[in-house]
Amino acid sequence: MSKQDTHFFNIFSVVIGLLVAVALVLLALARNIGDNTQVTETYADKAYLKGADERTQPLVRVAVAGQDNSALVIKGLAQTTQIKLEIPKDGPALYEAVCKTCHATGLAGAPKTGDKTVWAPRLAQGKATLYEHAIKGYTGKSGAMPAKGGRTDLSDELIQAGVDYLIAQVK
């Protein structure tokens, strides 16, 4: 080995030694600062540990064929909000809140409010039939009427008042 190679090797060894020493000093300094600034009681608190466990749970678990997957439970999202729709007081209010969506525009083949030619064959069937179709639902050749207009929380009497309102708009 030449003198230049020996000199390079010595310098390189000193540089590597200094870098290792600096890294060890920084590591010791970081541990010292961390021990003085972190509150150890926080990491021993049961509520903190439970919250940390909940936040670090895997998002999904995979069932593997041939293994015991009984521990895998399907969990739905918690229902925190329940939407409660206002119940109309009479036929006109019901029309505005529910019926108008389809009957004002003819959506899904619904007979438009006030259109005498479209309502005439329906009126010929009688009020009892109109009440039944509105309450129980009906699927005809030109469209469909969902039961109670999709608001099954409404009373039959209120639906009948809505039908009476629609009939009055035709006459």
The pLDDT tens digits for 60-104 are 777 788 888 776 776 666 666 777 788 899 989 989 998 999 889
Section 144-156 average pLDDT: 89
Q: How many residues does the chain have?
A: 171
Section 2-13 average pLDDT: 92
pLDDT band at residue 25 using 50, 70 and 90 as cut-offs: very high
Range of the domain at 40: 1-82
Angle CA 149–155–160, to nearest 5: 70
Section 34-39 average pLDDT: 72
Section 106-124 average pLDDT: 89
- Same domain? 99 vs 61: no
Last residue of a domain, one of 58, 82, 106: 82
45 has pLDDT over 70: yes
- Same domain? 69 vs 137: no
pTM to 2 decimals? 0.53
- Same domain? 52 vs 108: no
DSSP E strands, 114-156: 138-139, 144-145
Q: What pLDDT was estimated at residue 74?
A: 66
